[in-house]
Amino acid sequence: MAIDIQAFKIKLGQRIRVLRERGGLTQMELGALVGKDFQAISRMEKGRVNPSAYQLYVLAGALNVPIAEFFEFT
Q: What is the pLDDT of residues 24-38, one digit of tens each?
A: 999 999 999 999 999
Query: Is the distance from CB of 64 to CB of 10 less than 8 angstroms?
Result: no
Overall CATH class of domain 5-71: mainly alpha
pLDDT tens digit sequence for 11-61: 999 999 999 999 999 999 999 999 999 999 999 999 999 999 999 999 999
In this prediction the pTM is 0.90
Count of C-beta atoms within a 10 Å radius of residue 8: 14
* Segments making up each domain of the chain, as ranges: 5-71
Number of DSSP helices (H) and strands (E) in the chain, helices first: 4, 0
Name residue 33's amino acid.
L
